[in-house]
Structure 1
């Protein structure tokens, strides 16, 4: 279970941020993939190529798997759980790029220059129900995709086919499907950052108990539905800032409202579903910021020319210190 949100500075710089909420320890770290890297695939023996360089959270499992990131053209994306509704093809299709769900992220970041281009190229690939290494299951995923022009979309595949939808609120969580979440916002039209006015009931004047009452009724639990509503509200009303560093700080505070501490959300098997890390993707730099659960240090890695033209992918460590670490 995860939450994602987009954000724009006063100067027009675009960001995509996400929490990674999961019970199984994923062990991800910042990984830079160079141009023209070839990925092996569990869905197709030919694999696929990634002409463009990108950086995000990944792990080497006999080949790198990334779950979020930003590419050299300022396209950013994140994969989120879509349990119960995701449905993929039973087999590969000749003449298409066949991808397992956990491979779609790498194809997107390695092959498109804008969110609109992805919509034009959906017919090129076929998402196959093939299991991911480490988890050994077909991972039910959907994806949020955004670019440096501010265009944001959601990609979902269900029993009735693939859907690529504009995202007018810049937020995505998990099941139910994205359109359901948009409709559900109609139940929260009363939310506002300012106090509600006094109300008159007969001869009684009812006054609010102070600032914050405008958000009365906003759901505070950790379900995907509650996190969606809460993050839409935070995104709409959090102040706009000028610099990229201020944007990462603002996003960090927004995601505080949906971060899941260990112990407060326990799955049926007894494992803790918690926020293993937060990621912040700067599309204009482009750069990737990662903030792990253990100490909240933010590590920044810029996608430099050296990383883009390297012979091999490069992993970066997460320093265990308080503060901000620049790994440029």
Structure 2
């Protein structure tokens, strides 16, 4: 499931937050990946290989790929679930390929801004190999320190790009165009309905947009970060809360970023704490490092506590 909220309209800092909702834990690990790291698209016989231009702090999912992160130029990228029946990735066409589980990492490694990434969107072909025995639909949100934003959805064998500062909210299915159409039924977005209170994707989308609209101007960077974390908490799903189908997809963790100052934040919903990693303080580090973000006592600046590690994916 999941939700992403970008606050790019204040005068203090560009901040973003997202949550990870799933039936079981995605066993997250938090990595620092320096510039100069060799990577593979992990896709098929046409898998793309590259060397990272930028360093990044990222969260992995089941040790199989990157689901969230920011790079040292202030670009943030987030993968959220999109129902497989809504998704159709491009067919093989001679381009090098990147698995959807590596899409976030590929973008963070190679681009400094949203505009650069969007302009180069057709350079590689994104594929959908089996992921722990499942086919996972995914769409991508990007934003940068300047407040630019884009939502990318693989629909009908093509990448549909919504590019502009106005794309501040993303949830899950339906596709973004239908989410935006539904939003017009609610105030203050053209309709008269009050904000809804369910945990469905459409209700989370509306509620995110509604409360983001009313966030007051922050007086500090800390308030700018706290603002998006307050909003993402508002659309998080408590443990045990069922959807109408009876399925339970709680929020396992929430991540955020101050893109202006290149700081990545993380909090497990099993813990009352939030900790952070400063990319600027890792500028001279040339080795891969990691930390287990599920340690419940982590709080505050943990940059110095990242440990050298062998990259597993």
State TM-score, norm by structure 1: 0.83
Alpha-carbon offset, residue 29 of structure 1: 3.0
Query: Structure 1 residues 225 and 32, CA, compared in 2 at 3 Å: closer, same or farther?
Result: same
Partner of 1:181: 179
User: Aligned residue for 2:14?
Assistant: 14
| Structure 2 Cα separation of the partners of residues 232 and 29 of structure 1 | 29
Q: State the partner residue of 2:162.
A: 165
Distance 1:314 1:186 in 2: 43
Distance in 1, Cα, partners of 2:101 & 2:160: 17
Q: Find the counterpart in structure 1 of residue 107 from structure 2.
A: 108
Q: 1:327 aligns with which of 302, 306, 309?
A: 302
Matched residues in 1 for 2:235 and 2:195: separation?
13
1:226 aligns with 2:226: no
**CA distance in structure 2 between the partners assigned to 1:317 and 1:185 by the alignment:** 34
Query: Any conservation in 2 of the 1:30–1:316 contact (CA below 8 Å)?
Result: yes
Cα contact 2:150–2:163 (8 A) shared by 1: yes
Question: Residue 129 of structure 1: CA displacement?
Answer: 2.5
CA shift digits 1:98-134 (9 cap, x unpaired): 01111111111111110001111112110112123xx
Q: CA deviation at 1:191?
A: 7.2
SS in 2 for 1:184: helix
Kept in 1: contact 2:172–2:201 (CA 8 A): yes
Q: Within 5 A, what are the aligned runs for 1:55-70?
A: 55-58=57-60, 61=63, 65-70=65-70
SS at match of 1:189: coil
- 5+ residue gaps in structure 1? 193-214
Match of 1:246 in 2: 223
Q: What RMSD, in angstroms, separates the aligned Cα atoms of the two structures?
A: 2.5
What is residue 275 of structure 1 aligned with on the other side? 251
Query: C-alpha separation between the residues in 2 aligned to 1:23 and 1:57?
Result: 18
Within 1, Cα distance between the matches of 2:232 and 2:225?
A: 10
Cα contact 1:148–1:283 (8 A) shared by 2: yes
Q: CA deviation at 1:157?
A: 0.7
Give the corresponding residue for 2:307. Answer: none
Contact kept, 8 Å, 1:130 with 1:138, in 2: the verdict is yes
Correspondence for 2:49: 48
**Structure (1 or 2) with the larger CA radius of gyration:** 1
Aligned to 1:211: none
> In structure 2, what is the equivalent of residue 197 of structure 1?
none
* Unmatched 5+ stretches in structure 2: 304-313
Distance in 2 between residues matched to 1:300 and 1:267, nearest whole Å: 35
Q: How far apart are residue 9 of structure 1 and its match? A: 7.2
In structure 2, what is the Cα distance between the partners aligned to 1:216 and 1:271?
27
Separation (CA, whole Å) in 2 of partners of 1:178 and 1:78 = 15
Give the stretch that moved more between structures: 135-144 or 307-316: 307-316
Indicate conservation of the 8 Å contact 1:291/1:299, yes or no: yes
Equivalent residues in 2 for 1:88-99, closer than 5 Å? 88-91=89-92, 93-94=93-94, 96-99=95-98
CA–CA distance in structure 2, aligned partners of residues 265 and 137 of structure 1 = 22
Q: Is the 2:171–2:201 contact (alpha carbons within 8 Å) kept by the matching residues of 1? A: yes
> What secondary structure is seen at the aligned counterpart in 2 of 1:226?
helix
Alignment CA distance shift 1:218-1:267 (3 Å)? closer
Q: Work out the number of aligned pairs and report it.
A: 299
- Aligned to 1:153, the other structure's residue is in SS state strand
Distance 1:190 1:313, change over 3 A: closer
Partner of 1:142: 139
1:233 is paired with a residue whose SS is helix
Aligned twin of 2:311: none
C-alpha distance in 2 between matches for 1:304 and 1:13: 16
Q: Within 5 A, what are the aligned runs for 1:79-90?
A: 79-83=79-83, 84-90=85-91
